[in-house]
Amino acid sequence: MSTEKILIIGAGGQIGIELTAKLSEMYGSSNVVASDLKNTKAFPNNPFETLDALDGKALFDIVRKHGITHVYHLAAMLSATGEQHPMFAWKLNMESLFNVLDLAKEKHISKIYWPSSIAVFGPTTPMQNTPQYTVMEPSTIYGISKQAGERWCEWYFKKFNVDVRSLRYPGLIGWKSAPGGGTTDYAVHIFHEALKSGKYECFLSENTALPMMHMEDAIRATIEIMHAPAENIKIRGSYNLAGISFSPKDITAEIKKHIPDFSISYKPDFRQGIADSWPKSINDSEAKKDWGWHEHYDLPKLVENMLVNLKEKVGV
Ligand code: NAD
Ligand code: AKB
Starting at the earlier edge strand, list the strands of the sheet with 70-73. 48-50, 32-36, 6-9, 70-73, 111-113, 164-165
| Pocket lining: 184 vs ligand 1, CB cutoff 6 Å | yes
**The pLDDT of residue 246:** 98
Query: Hey, which residues are catalytic here?
Result: 142
pLDDT on residue 1: 56
Strands 263-266 and 239-240: unpaired
> What pLDDT, in 10s, does the model give residues 59-90?
999 999 999 999 999 999 999 999 999 999 99
For the chain, list the domains and their CATH numbers: 6-170+215-228 (3.40.50.720), 172-212+243-314 (3.90.25.10)
Say how far apart CA 252 and CA 303 lie, in whole Å. 10
What confidence tens digit (pLDDT) does each residue in 267-298 have?
Answer: 999 999 999 999 999 999 999 999 999 999 99
Q: What is the pLDDT of residue 2?
A: 67
How many CA atoms are closer than 13 Å to the CA of 206, on its beta-carbon side? 9
List the beta bridge partners of residue 130: 282
Distance 186 CA to ligand 2 centre (A): 11
Ligand 1 atom nearest 172 alpha carbon: 40
pTM for the full predicted model: 0.98
| pLDDT, tens digit, 9 for 90 and up, residues 181-226 | 999 999 999 999 999 999 999 999 999 999 999 999 999 999 999 9
